[in-house]
Every structure is written in structure tokens, then in C-alpha cells.
Amino acid sequence: MILRRNFFALAALTGLMAIKPLRPGYAAASPPTLKPHRLSPGSAVGIISPAGATFRREELDIVVDAVRGLGLVPRLAPHVLDRYGYLAGQDRDRAADINQFFADPEIAALLPIRGDWGSSRVLPYLDYSQIRQNPKIIVGFSDITALLLGIYAKTGLITFHGPHGLTAWRPDQVEPFRQILFAGEALTFANSVVAEDRDRLMPVRNRIQTITPGQAQGRLIGGNLSVIAGVVGSPYLPDLDGAILFLEDVGESIYRIDRMLTQLKLAGVFDQLSGFIFGQCVSCGPDEDYGSLTLEEVLYDHIAPLGIPAWMGAAIGHVEPILTLPIGLSVAIDAAPGTIRMLEVAVI
């Protein structure tokens, strides 16, 4: 006990006890923000498979055609068609493809074929020093959330929650993709009126439901809820102090959404947010069990007590068109109309 008392006395004198511990739930403060270079016609795009396997060569051919349709040049990763069970090859090989493309000065962007599962498994094998020294565009959604957040957390590089190779690439998706990543424009995102509602007096689909009205500014961070819950407590979830958090998911029971939001809450992830957005949760209806909560009830339970601007129903998630949202960029939100406004360009 004498030794312990002496230690604490010495620590108090030297300031050791004043060291602030890292907050649980996510990484320490993010590195300085780094923006990738914009795309130009003829830029080379590295096609990668960081997660689920591609079982049909035709799907890769479709992605190659999409890249060419954008006026870009496709380059295939060495392991793009590898398979290891449901994964697109071994973890180290999938990570090696990403490292190789970031190191290649001819590659301007990285585009995954698909999501599925597996991006979190490659995070320990990425060369983050090399990525920071060679900033490039990397875009995707769903399971690719882990890759986008991990790279941003470790390097400060702005990444993009947007289309992967096998999305539809219709004009309403291609145009904002071009505006942000080619033209370097700062856009405002809002739900559009769907075709089925254009002759109605009021919109029925794609509606915004405000949880707490108000306006806020902060870094835009987010993606798939299941994936984010899976990296809580690791160095691959960015510091969310002052951030605007957006979440989406697909095919999850309401009780699982509740469980994952509870996990984020208990980990302190919600504590310092400036704003909150919940997008679409496709095929996430209530269970058949008697007395199930609704998605609306679960979100109000967790988010309304925060007292921050928040809404649900944003056109973000496993829906078309896939928006191109810059991860780590400063944005302004308004929870009444449900708008996200970029405060700066995302590429240089």
C-alpha cells in the first residue's frame, strides 16, 4: 500500500494522472483531412473484390462495361476473381490488391464489384501510410462501409459512400457521381419525388420523418449499421465527436436493429453527435411475434433523447439511385426538409 500511495502521489505531481483516456467505441481523433484528386475522362479505375466473391465472370464483365461507360479505363486487380468460400480470396490477397492500386500512380480510383461480407477482415493488412501518401478515390456501400471508415479513420482520406460496380448506373445515379467526383461540385442531397407520386397531391413514398427538428454542421460519417456495429471498439471507427452520423441497413429484424443501436449507445457512439440521419432499411419489417416494436419506435427511443437534429427516411441505403456521399467531409443538415448540404468540394 505504501508503494501504491507513493506511485499515485508521484503521478499527481508529474501529471500522469491527468492523461485523458481514449473514449470507448471508436478511434482517437482522426488525422488531418486529405482529399483525393478528381476523375478525368480516361482515368484508370482499379476494380477490386474486398468482400464477397464473384461467382460469374459475366458480373465482372458488367462492371468493366460500366467503368467504360463512365469514360474511364478499367484495370482488374490480380485477385479480383479469387474465391475462398463466400469471400473473394484470402484476406491478405484482397488487401494486397488494394495496397497495389493505391501505390500505382496510374490508378485514380478504386471500385469494388460488390459488398456482401469481408471488408472488415482486410483492415489489419492495409498499408495506411502508403494510402495517405497516395490519396485516391475509393467508393462503395453496404459491407464496403468498413473499408471506407477504416481508411478515413487511419489516414484522414475522404472516402465515398456510393455505387459499387454492380449497381444500376442509371442517369439519376451517374449524374451526381460525375458532379462530385469529376466536376468537383458541392451538392445538396434531398429525397426526390418518385414517379409513382408525381400525380398525387402529397408524396407517399420517399417521405422524410423528422425526429427532432433543427440544423447542424459536422463531418459526415456513416454507412451500414450492421458493419458499423461490428467495428465498434476498434481503431477503424472514426472519432464521431461533432459528427453527423447516417445509418442504413437491409434484411434485418427490428429487434436486431434495436440491439445494434443499443450497442452503439452503450459504446458512447451517440454521445457527442451533432446530428443523426437514418436512411432506408429495406426488408426490415416487424417480426411476426406478438408485440414487436416498429422501426419508428426503436429510432425514437434511441435518438429523440439526444436532442440533436435528426430524421429518418433519407434515400440512403440499398435503394436506387445510390447517392455518392463524401465520408469525412463537412456538411450542413436541416432535419425538417431532410437535406444534406456539402460545405466544400470533396476532391481537388
Report, as residue numbers or ranges, the catalytic residues. 142, 248, 318
End-to-end CA, the chain: 59
Helix axes 254-266, 295-303, angle to 10 degrees: 10
Spatial neighbors of 311 by CB under 8 A, at least 6 apart, are: 208, 209, 210, 211, 276, 277, 278, 335, 336, 338
Distances (CA, A) of 325 to 39, 138, 271, 287, 313: 16, 12, 23, 31, 16
> Does residue 188 contact residue 339 with C-beta atoms inside 8 Å?
yes
As to burial, measured by CB atoms within 10 angstroms (0-12 exposed, 13-18 middle, 19+ buried), residue 83 is middle
Residue with cell 422524410: 208
Phi-psi region of 156 (alpha: psi -120 to 50; beta: other; left: phi over 0): left
Spatial neighbors of 74 by CB under 8 A, at least 6 apart, are: 44, 45, 47, 63, 64, 67, 68
> Does residue 28 contact residue 22 with C-beta atoms inside 8 Å?
yes
229-267 as b/e: b if 16+ CB within 10 A: bbbbebebbbbbeebbbbbbbbebbbebbbebbebbbeb
> Does residue 86 contact residue 116 with C-beta atoms inside 8 Å?
yes
∠ CA 215-212-180 to the nearest 5 degrees?
A: 45
What whole-number distance in Å separates Cα of residue 53 and Cα of residue 57?
A: 11
> Does residue 17 contact residue 8 with C-beta atoms inside 8 Å?
yes
Cell numbers describing residue 203? 408524396
